[in-house]
Structure 1
Amino acid sequence: MTITQLYYVLAVAEHQNFTKAAEKCFVTQPTLSMQIQKLEDQLDVQIFDRSKKPIELTEVGKKIVTQARNIVNESYRIQDIVDQQKGFIGGEFKLGIIPTIMPTLLPMFLKTFIKRHPKVKLKIEELTTEEIISRIKDGHLDAAIAATPLEDDSIKERVLYFEPFVCYIPKNHKLYGKQKIDSADLEIDDMLLLEDGHCFRDGVINLCKVFKNHIDDKFQLESGSIETLIKLSNEGLGMTLLPYLHTLDIREKEKDNLHYFNEPPPAREVSIIYHKSELKMQIIEALQDVISGIIRGAIAFQDVKIISPVPKK
């Protein structure tokens, strides 16, 4: 049994196709198939059901893949040990960022990080929290930036900053005249929300649930982007909540619509998250250092009330 054979098994399990897996592994399809067949012969089991289209794992194959992923990850740790010993910060690093953080945070830190660590090849994807957790567990992401806490034992979290919620209230709204907003003022049926799948949406709902015993699951309107929510609010369709960093670039004529909460304001916790196996920690720590340094100048809030992004049942 070899690490290479296990790597091939993981590739086929992911792509459910021998040809695509071979392309991913940069080998010929016959070479990959032969090595997997050798492993199956050695173990005297069938890992894949080749009669199914697409190819499926057998029951024992599912258990083998789980263990193979652990072994392959641990093999990567040897290179990690060498890199850390040499003080090397470089190589490919796959980073996921949730949609409500990507447009504001990425432009703030990316140029600085690239300049400081030119040997790191960042591959960045915008993904939902659910997609991020799945990909970290499968080894397809090295780390991610997301709202926390996620309450997942397989994921480790390092807090980067706390980002307060800010109300965006148009002039025709009943709350527009209030200088400071209380969380108890919020009504979910009057709130423009992001569509299902966004953890910021769940944070807003959880904030309202703290003060309301009953919430109707039918909302007036949902959208896929915060920019669209602002435009809809300007049309008089309701109020919305914005992450604080989104308010820094808001147009001058819209700034009067920003209303802040009484102290302590509700906020989301933003962290860099990664698998408990702690691979590529030198790059994770470098990201944390750059982002934390930059964000200190943008967010001065300390006394906040953290709202969980995990949907409440």
Structure 2
Amino acid sequence: MTITQLQYVLAVAENKNFTLAAEKCFVTQPTLSMQIQKLEEELGIQIFDRSKKPIQLTDVGVQIVEQAKNIVNESGRIKDIVDQQKGYIGGEFKIGIIPTIMPTLLPMFMSNFIKKYPKVNLIIEEHTTEEIIRLIKNGQLDAAIAATPLNEDSIKEIVLYYEPFVAYVPENMDAYNKKEFEVEDLEHNIDNILLLQDGHCFRHNILNLCKAKGLSNENHFQIESGSFETLIKLADEGLGMTLLPYLHTLDMSERAKQKLRQFKEPRPSREVSLIYSKKELKLHIIEALKATIAGVVKGAITFQDVKITSPLQQKK
């Protein structure tokens, strides 16, 4: 049994296809198939049920894959230990970022990080918070940037910044005439608030903010979208108002900024953190990321008096 064979097994389990798995592993399909077959012969069992399309794991295969993840992940930590000892900041580093943070934060720090740490092969992936938690636990991500707190015992969180919510109010709404918002003001516009679709933690931030004030339940929100840009366009059409994260408002046109309304202090906000497994060994790269992001965000976000809302979906 070899680490390479286990890596091939994991690739097939993930892609449910030998050809795709071979491409991901940069080997030919016959080579990958032969190595997996040799492992199955050595163990005296079938890991995959090849009669099904797509390929499925057998019952024992499910258990083997779970153990293989641990073995492959732990084997990779040997090099991490050596790099840490040498103070070497380089190598592959996979980081996940949630969709409501990726478009604004990534351009702010990516260029600076690459220039300062050219030996780090930073692989950026966009995932929902739920996916990020799973991938970190499985060792498929080294770290992630997400809204916190997540209340996961196996995951460590380093707060990067606090990002206030900002109301975007079209001119046809009475709320447009207010210079500054209070959370209670949402009550008068609760049936006209446009939200992101389910699956976005920013949606849960807003729902939890409203629920904390006893303002609403999810049935009030009728129009939903997958992006802030669409929500803004819907608001411009007079279909309602929406709430945006502060960084998303920085590059808006001056005309659009006239529709923005800040909340009174303490401003409802989300906590954005760099998160990673407590078993993670690439702490030198994590520290480099933290320092780089903190350096660029420091000038953009200077809010101190904030009130954090949870990104977790509350049970009904």
Larger displacement relative to structure 2 (44-53 or 212-221): 212-221
In the alignment, which residue of structure 2 is the partner of 1:151? 151
Shift in CA distance, 86/111, structure 1 to aligned 2, threshold 3 Å = same
The 8 Å contact of residues 210 and 216 in structure 2, kept in 1 or not, is answered as: no
In the alignment, which residue of structure 2 is the partner of 1:238? 240
Paired letter, 2:290: Q
In the alignment, which residue of structure 1 is the partner of 2:19? 19
The 8 Å contact of residues 142 and 280 in structure 2, kept in 1 or not, is answered as: no
1:285 positional shift: 1.6
Q: Give the RMSD, CA atoms, in angstroms.
A: 1.9
1:305 positional shift: 1.0
Distance 2:312 2:218 in 1: 18
Q: 1:228-264: CA deviations, max 9, x gaps?
A: 2222222221111111112222211222322111211
1:280 positional shift: 2.5
Q: Does 1:195 align with 2:230?
A: no
Structure 1: gaps spanning 5 or more residues: none
Listed as ranges, the matches of 1:241-252 within 5 Å are: 241-252=243-254
Q: 1:82-132: CA deviations, max 9, x gaps?
A: 111121111222222222212211111111111100111222233322333
1:218 positional shift: 5.1
Q: 1:49-81: CA deviations, max 9, x gaps?
A: 222222111122111111110111111110001
In the alignment, which residue of structure 1 is the partner of 2:81? 81
Distance 2:146 2:87 in 1: 27
Shift in CA distance, 296/216, structure 1 to aligned 2, threshold 3 Å = closer
Give the length in aligned residue pairs: 313
**TM-score normalised to structure 2 length:** 0.92
Secondary structure of 2:219's aligned partner = coil
Shift in CA distance, 213/249, structure 1 to aligned 2, threshold 3 Å = closer
**TM-score normalised to structure 1 length:** 0.92
Distance 2:114 2:220 in 1: 44
Distance 2:205 2:33 in 1: 47
Secondary structure of 2:174's aligned partner = coil
Where do 4+ consecutive residues of structure 1 move more than 6 Å?
A: none
1:213 positional shift: 6.0
Listed as ranges, the matches of 1:86-235 within 5 Å are: 86-187=86-187, 188-212=190-214, 214-217=216-219, 219-235=221-237
In the alignment, which residue of structure 2 is the partner of 1:4? 4
Larger displacement relative to structure 2 (210-219 or 268-277): 210-219
In the alignment, which residue of structure 1 is the partner of 2:59? 59
Distance 2:14 2:158 in 1: 29
Larger displacement relative to structure 2 (265-274 or 14-23): 14-23
Larger displacement relative to structure 2 (172-181 or 240-249): 172-181
Q: 1:150-188: CA deviations, max 9, x gaps?
A: 233343322111101111122322222333322122143
Structure 2: gaps spanning 5 or more residues: none
1:290 positional shift: 0.3
